[in-house]
């Protein structure tokens, strides 16, 4: 009997949160979605590539929702997200991980426009739907995956860095809103450095983290309802240095790179 009681005491409570991951077909978003499914959450995986989403969710048919969604089409994506929240009976956490970016030294407008459509307009549309829902139910957590790249202008990918700065600023504004309202809603910014994903092309990069390590630290930050977290934690040192660099020195560093 004592052994049974001890075993029961070690059992973890079921995590029944409803989680929506926007941009779950690969990289950090995929790893986060699967980690929440392993914990017993009801998880919606959204993204442009339906076949990858379905493959990722197939181990958890009872707890997973799959929805093809392209955030660059803001109207359709917003309507789809509203329908998904309704289908799930509400949402406790919405994670916006969808994003794109290009090295664009030639300033090709098509690449700049695509980045803005996804990372600025698409992000804002998704955040707007999620926050409207959370405000209606007076509870919830919005999580935005931004980037260290948003701290300063980026010579080689101007729209990408600027779009991440927009995301940071937008999340802060939403956080100020709920603070002023004395609302229990949490707004979390996750600011990664280099993570070994297809977008980062992480081979050989400085302090590159595995997707698994990054997702584990992000999950902890979400669980602790952090306002902001650098991923991995050592990137706070780089962030501190970047904020202090004068423009002439930043330009010289690009030139020497």
Judge residue 209's burial from the number of C-beta atoms within 10 Å of its C-beta, 0-12 exposed, 13-18 middle, 19 or more buried. buried
As beta bridge partners, residue 209 has 195
Distant-in-sequence, close-in-space partners of 192: CB < 8 Å, separation ≥ 6:
28, 145, 146, 147, 148, 209, 214, 230, 231, 232, 235
Q: Quick check: is 102 catalytic?
A: no
Catalytic site residue from 36, 65, 102, 160: 160
Enumerate the active-site residues: 160
């Amino acid at each position: 009997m004592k052994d049974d009681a001890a075993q029961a005491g070690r059992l973890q409570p079921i995590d029944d949160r409803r989680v929506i991951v926007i941009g779950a077909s690969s990289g950090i978003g995929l790893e986060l979605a699967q980690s929440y499914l392993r914990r017993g959450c009801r998880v919606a995986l959204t993204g442009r590539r339906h076949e990858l989403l379905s493959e990722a969710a197939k181990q958890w048919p009872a707890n997973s929702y799959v929805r093809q969604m392209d955030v660059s089409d803001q109207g359709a994506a917003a309507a789809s997200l509203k329908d998904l929240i309704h289908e799930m009976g509400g949402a406790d956490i919405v994670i916006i991980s969808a994003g794109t970016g290009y090295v664009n030294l030639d300033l090709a407008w098509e690449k700049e426009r695509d980045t803005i459509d996804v990372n600025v307009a698409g992000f804002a549309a998704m955040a707007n739907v999620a926050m409207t829902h959370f405000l209606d139910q007076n509870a919830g957590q919005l999580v935005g995956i931004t980037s260290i790249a948003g701290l300063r202008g980026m010579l080689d990918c101007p729209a990408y860095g600027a779009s991440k700065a927009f995301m940071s600023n937008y999340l802060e504004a939403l956080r100020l809103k709920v603070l002023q309202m004395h609302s229990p809603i949490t707004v979390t910014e996750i600011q990664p450095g280099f993570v070994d994903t297809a977008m980062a092309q992480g081979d050989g990069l400085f302090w590159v983290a595995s997707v698994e390590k990054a997702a584990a630290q992000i999950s902890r930050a979400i669980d602790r309802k952090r306002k902001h977290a650098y991923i991995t934690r050592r990137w706070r040192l780089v962030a501190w240095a970047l904020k202090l660099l004068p423009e002439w020195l930043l330009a010289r560093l690009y030139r020497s790179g």
